[in-house]
Structure 1
Amino acid sequence: MKKIALLSTLLLAGAAFAAAPKDTLVVQESADIPTLDPGATYDTASGSVVENIYETLLTYKGSSLRDLEPLLATKWTISNGGKTYTFDLRKNVKFHSGNPFTCADAEYTFQRNLVTNAAESGNWFLSDSLLGTPSNANDDKSITWAKINNAVQCNSQGQLVFNLPKPDPAFLAKLAFAGQSIVDKNWATKLGEWSGTEADWKNWVGKDLQGSKLNAQPSGTGAYRLVRKDANAVLAQAFDGYWGQKPAIKNVIIQKVPELAARQQAFLRGDADLIEAGTRANIEEQLKGKPGVVVVDGLPNTTATAVFMNENIKDPARLGSGKLDGQGIPANFFSDVNVRRGFAYAFNYAQYISDVLKGKGKQRTMLLPDSFPGYDPKVKTYKYDPAQAKAYFQRAWGGQLWKNGFTLNVAYRAGSVGAQTAMEILKKNIEALNPKFRVNIQAKEWSAMLNDSKAGKEPMIIIGWAPDYADPDNFMYTFYSSNGYYYPRSNWKDATVDKWLDQARVTTNTAERNRLYSLVGQRAYEQSPFVLVPAGVGLNVERSNLVGATAQTFNPMISFSYTGTFWKDLSKK
């Protein structure tokens, strides 16, 4: 314990080792970690920690995106025409608090997620499966306590039973998402979280759990327990009472280091084992070929990234004058399709592929990984064309935009070289079209950007999506539906697109689903709600003494994407 105390003091204070000890994994990244409460986990930075201190009922098998295997469950059966799922649960498992894991904990977890279902969480897709609506009880009055209580129950044999209103072929994959990790009911209720009963359920509907008491004092069944967390670092220690194989790595440190050069130098010295290494260009220019460095190339890219153009900006402070007078923009600036098309033609896609992706990337036709079913390579795409951009800007707002100009304030995630470069490309090309056009770019902390964009405050951001579960709906509905998770960031709505996406969710006919997604992609090209950022070929960089990392196995569905595996599967030689 003295050693842990020393590690905690040194690492959370920002001190570095001569080299990371053999029993300690040191990770450096630019983002902060918004939450450690599974019920609020809906970003990869949070998920990369949550999935290691908590566990789900099942998880992905090896590198497969489709095959699932038991974790806290031992087996399951599907009955009643695909509407009933019954899980046998693992015995002799303990939480970090010392409490035993039982069916009551699992029941509480999923009911808590259904009750709260806040806008910043991924519980909308669980609610969609179990209650037939992505909304919570504040927004959908058909949701009752009886409906929530019936959706997930423990039977007399101690099995966990889910009752779905209609079949959902993606349901098992949804349960493997880190945000559906099982929480410690007794621990949570003693902290003052929801009681787990009907008595106070309405008080917790839509409640933001990001800064909950469980966030500050988590208790999971995972191979690691939280020792300490502050604004700049997380320290986790291997859990002595873990039910599975004991991890070789005893301590895990995640440090927030905003400067890329500082992260790279720490990595080259061996002070850090894994880092957020920047773009492909950064890796190839600064790290590749250096002693002790392994670069793993050709990994699957299952993310999608876009520049969002918000059609209803809800923060007057971001609008400047609030008018088309050259000093600002109106709140509905992007509601004119000519503005959106102008921006889409002003982005230099080939330059981004060359400068950021070092030529190893492609311009996708849709906000869907090209390895997923439903992707249509024949959907039209925008190309960099200043003449077309100028023509659309001249049409926008009845000619007033071109005549008066505008000042636009945009944000990108602090520390993200790729996002910064994309915004700089757009800024340069937009401002070159008309001396009255001004684009101001600003770096923002990850948590602040998430929260402000969720509230519809950001005029324009660049943000990506990593899949919660391996199904095209998770991307198409998220980006394009007016009921999707990203809708508040764009406020783009198309009734026909909504209809096609709703139809795709209920059909099991693959060809028909693919046809509907193609229609959505083509309509999105016509309406241009996003600028589609080209996707790179995946690559990771790691220290050569790390065993069990990307060089050995990789699953992009695991949030800790530096290795595509869990901390417990890593060791050092």
Structure 2
Amino acid sequence: MKKLGFITTLLLIGGVASAATPKDTLVIQESADIPTLDPGVTYDTASGQFTENIYETLWTYKGSSLRAFDPLLASAIPTYTNSGKTLVVSLRKGVKFHSGNAFTCADAEYSFRRNLVTNSAESGNWFLSESLLGTSSNAKDDPSVTFAKITAAVKCNAQGQLVFTLPQADPAFLAKLAFTGQSIVDMKWAVQQGEWNGTEATWKDWVGKDLTGGALDKKPSGTGAYQLVNRDANSILLKAFPSYWGAKPSIKNIIWQKVPEQATRYQAFLRGDADLIETGARANVQEQLVGKPGVAFIDNLPNTVATAFFMNENIKDSALLGSGKLDGKGVPANFFSDVNVRRAFSYSFDYAGYIKDVQQGKGKQRTMLLPDTFPGYVKSVKTYSYNPAQATAYFKRAFGGNVWKNGFSLNVNYRAGAVAAQTAMEILKKNVEALNPKFKININAKQWSQMLTDSKNGKEAMVILGWAPDYADPDNFMYTFYSSNGYYYPRSNWKDASVDKWLDQARTTVDPIARTKLYAQVAQRAYDQAPYMLVPAGIAFTILRDNIKGVSAATYNPMRSDATTGVLWKTLSKN
């Protein structure tokens, strides 16, 4: 009770800690809100860092590996049967939820069915639905989704095992189930709080329902090492769950504080009043934090984000087109449909200069829009380099020579406040305009929410977007970026029939060598057709107080929602 009293005081002093944190307490300061504590609608890293510690999935990533798993609520990692279409999961015994309810197969069955029923645009349940129902849509958008189909896809057998039945083999399915959004919720508790009761009689009332701000957001009950004590707009307090089935955590209390100002977070961190903080750009960290007393800096960590310039082949916003013609005063809506234009732009970006100046030498040019640490990545595929002569040659070929002859004026947007994106656009603008005095690129800042909406509707001519993985499988990147059925297709409108065929084959190919060969074909075709300009990937790092133990290159896993530690909080301790 004494310790809890100290924590409560700590939380109330303007949202910022006023004394060095005790040995059994972890204080985290970040700028973002925490949208939800319900795993069924968790689809952001801010929420994910809490759901992955309050709740548990069937298994999680083993150490720093992106390929191996450790069981959590499963008693062992299962193997596929029935040609990869059936997965029978034996469950851990003697596990309790924070409510005191015993964990059973019924809870797991309910959790996955709940995700398939709700499957809203705000959640990551679309890829669970793809695997189990053959569609990413919910029952409102796809009439093939029925309650009978959902119940057949996931059910408990007579032995109390959870059985998944897939319409076709999915080599990414194990990784998908490690995503924190697929955590197991407490069925009895959920129903008591007014959540879906799991029956066919009521399921249609919950189809596509946004669970953000719902009952389990306010009152979560998981099996994780930490349980919720208190939450308000600027702070969250967790404590160690005394009946946790696993090893008891050394850190007994987790305090999260919303601190929007970076300077304030830096000051608290340097005083020792915060253990982990949102740090921002590498340049700021190296200048203001690295080398200071009590600070540990871990560099050269894997980066699992892929980022690119999108060149939209069907620009649906006339305001960006100017005259709408190749007359030096605008561009046609199909400006980027000419492969020569795309290749010319690809040769106009200074990749090496970006790595040197923006990433301070801590960057890497990838061959494809897939993290180089992921299975399926192919090093041998060619890459573009800054080459004004090649850029000029392709611009002269574009649209039968009219691009070079008449020039163009292109309007592009970048996310307001994103310095790296702005700098990348400025590099491209400078290099393209230097080729021909008739070339003009106008760059403008735009609010992120509006840019996301407009790009989704095909209204951005060129935009820089990234993708962070939901699950550690190449499909999550390759299909997303390159398939005409992928998430990013409306933003680029690039389609290649062979690429679509190869990606569909890869989705059901269990043999990793065969899958990699298919992805190599996709990457080579993408190099040739240049639908994207690949932005060099930064080298990840983390920074924390040096008395925190349990974070290293050997333990850091980029698939964790807590990107600062890359581990579950239960594995941390303090000197």
Q: Assess same fold via TM > 0.5.
A: yes
User: 2:411 maps to which residue?
Assistant: 407
Structure 1, 22-31 or 475-484: larger mean CA deviation: 22-31
Cα shift at 1:145: 1.5
User: 1:361 maps to which residue?
Assistant: 363
**3-state SS of paired residue (2:296):** strand
1:8 aligns with 2:29: no
Q: What residue identity is the alignment partner of 2:177? A: L
Cα shift at 1:354: 0.9
**Cα distance 1:226–1:168, how it changes in 2: closer, same or farther (>3 A)?**
same
Cα shift at 1:229: 4.6
**Match runs of 1:173-212 below 5 Å:** 173-212=175-214
User: 1:347 maps to which residue?
Assistant: 349
Q: Tell me, yes or no, if the aligned pair for 1:278 and 1:418 is still in contact at 8 Å.
A: no
1:555 aligns with 2:553: no
**Cα distance 1:411–1:171, how it changes in 2: closer, same or farther (>3 A)?**
same
Q: Tell me, yes or no, if the aligned pair for 2:395 and 2:403 is still in contact at 8 Å.
A: no
Q: What residue identity is the alignment partner of 1:5? A: T
Cα shift at 1:309: 3.8
Q: How many residues align?
A: 566
Q: What residue identity is the alignment partner of 2:11? A: S
Structure 1, 549-558 or 455-464: larger mean CA deviation: 455-464
Structure 1, 503-512 or 484-493: larger mean CA deviation: 484-493
1:128 aligns with 2:130: yes
**Match runs of 1:65-144 below 5 Å:** 65-75=66-76, 77-78=78-79, 79-144=81-146
Q: Tell me, yes or no, if the aligned pair for 1:411 and 1:460 is still in contact at 8 Å.
A: no
**3-state SS of paired residue (1:541):** strand
The CA deviation string for residues 452-473 of structure 1, in whole angstroms up to 9 with x for no partner, is 6556565554333333333222
**Match runs of 1:248-267 below 5 Å:** 248-267=250-269
Q: What residue identity is the alignment partner of 2:28? A: V
**3-state SS of paired residue (2:76):** strand
The CA deviation string for residues 57-90 of structure 1, in whole angstroms up to 9 with x for no partner, is 1112222222222211213544434332222323
User: 1:500 maps to which residue?
Assistant: 502
Q: 1:259 & 1:346 partners in 2: Cα distance?
A: 37
User: 2:372 maps to which residue?
Assistant: 370
Cα shift at 1:158: 2.4
**Cα distance 1:423–1:529, how it changes in 2: closer, same or farther (>3 A)?**
same
User: 2:60 maps to which residue?
Assistant: 59
User: 1:540 maps to which residue?
Assistant: 542
Q: Tell me, yes or no, if the aligned pair for 1:295 and 1:542 is still in contact at 8 Å.
A: yes
User: 1:45 maps to which residue?
Assistant: 46
The CA deviation string for residues 208-261 of structure 1, in whole angstroms up to 9 with x for no partner, is 444544334433222223345555554433333433233222332344445544
Q: Tell me, yes or no, if the aligned pair for 1:279 and 1:357 is still in contact at 8 Å.
A: no
Q: 1:547 & 1:451 partners in 2: Cα distance?
A: 42
**Cα distance 1:320–1:560, how it changes in 2: closer, same or farther (>3 A)?**
same
**3-state SS of paired residue (1:553):** coil
Structure 1, 322-331 or 495-504: larger mean CA deviation: 322-331
User: 1:490 maps to which residue?
Assistant: 492
Q: 2:515 & 2:368 partners in 1: Cα distance?
A: 15
User: 1:222 maps to which residue?
Assistant: 224
**3-state SS of paired residue (1:540):** strand
**Match runs of 1:413-424 below 5 Å:** 414=417, 418-424=420-426
Q: Tell me, yes or no, if the aligned pair for 2:414 and 2:421 is still in contact at 8 Å.
A: no
Q: Which runs of 5+ in 1 are unaligned?
A: none
Structure 1, 286-295 or 340-349: larger mean CA deviation: 340-349
Structure 1, 320-329 or 268-277: larger mean CA deviation: 320-329
Q: 1:238 & 1:105 partners in 2: Cα distance?
A: 22
**Match runs of 1:260-275 below 5 Å:** 260-275=262-277
**3-state SS of paired residue (1:504):** helix
Q: Tell me, yes or no, if the aligned pair for 1:25 and 1:251 is still in contact at 8 Å.
A: yes
Q: Tell me, yes or no, if the aligned pair for 1:423 and 1:441 is still in contact at 8 Å.
A: no
**Cα distance 1:516–1:404, how it changes in 2: closer, same or farther (>3 A)?**
closer
**Match runs of 1:402-551 below 5 Å:** 403=407, 405-411=409-415, 414=417, 418-429=420-431, 436-442=440-446, 444=448, 460-550=462-552
Cα shift at 1:405: 1.4
Larger radius of gyration: 2
**Cα distance 1:359–1:97, how it changes in 2: closer, same or farther (>3 A)?**
same
Q: What residue identity is the alignment partner of 2:555? A: T
Q: 1:417 & 1:265 partners in 2: Cα distance?
A: 23
User: 1:291 maps to which residue?
Assistant: 293
Cα shift at 1:541: 1.7
Cα shift at 1:107: 0.8
Q: Which runs of 5+ in 2 are unaligned?
A: none
Q: 1:558 & 1:62 partners in 2: Cα distance?
A: 11
The CA deviation string for residues 325-364 of structure 1, in whole angstroms up to 9 with x for no partner, is 9998777665554554454333321122112332232211
**3-state SS of paired residue (1:346):** coil
Q: Tell me, yes or no, if the aligned pair for 2:16 and 2:268 is still in contact at 8 Å.
A: no
Cα shift at 1:566: 0.7
Q: Tell me, yes or no, if the aligned pair for 2:56 and 2:180 is still in contact at 8 Å.
A: yes
1:242 aligns with 2:244: yes
Cα shift at 1:428: 4.8
**3-state SS of paired residue (2:201):** helix
Structure 1, 188-197 or 500-509: larger mean CA deviation: 188-197
Cα shift at 1:570: 1.1
Q: Tell me, yes or no, if the aligned pair for 1:430 and 1:439 is still in contact at 8 Å.
A: no
Q: What residue identity is the alignment partner of 1:477? A: Y
Q: 2:228 & 2:471 partners in 1: Cα distance?
A: 26
Q: What residue identity is the alignment partner of 1:541? A: I
Structure 1, 323-332 or 13-22: larger mean CA deviation: 323-332
User: 1:25 maps to which residue?
Assistant: 26
Q: Tell me, yes or no, if the aligned pair for 2:331 and 2:408 is still in contact at 8 Å.
A: no
TM-score when scaled to structure 1? 0.87
Q: What residue identity is the alignment partner of 1:54? A: Y
Q: 2:434 & 2:193 partners in 1: Cα distance?
A: 56
Cα shift at 1:314: 6.5
Q: Tell me, yes or no, if the aligned pair for 2:70 and 2:77 is still in contact at 8 Å.
A: no
Q: Tell me, yes or no, if the aligned pair for 1:326 and 1:407 is still in contact at 8 Å.
A: no
Q: 1:270 & 1:390 partners in 2: Cα distance?
A: 55
Q: What residue identity is the alignment partner of 1:529? A: P
TM-score when scaled to structure 2? 0.86
**Cα distance 1:46–1:489, how it changes in 2: closer, same or farther (>3 A)?**
farther
Cα shift at 1:150: 0.6
Q: 2:460 & 2:197 partners in 1: Cα distance?
A: 36
**3-state SS of paired residue (1:369):** coil
How much is the aligned-residue C-alpha RMSD, in angstroms? 3.3
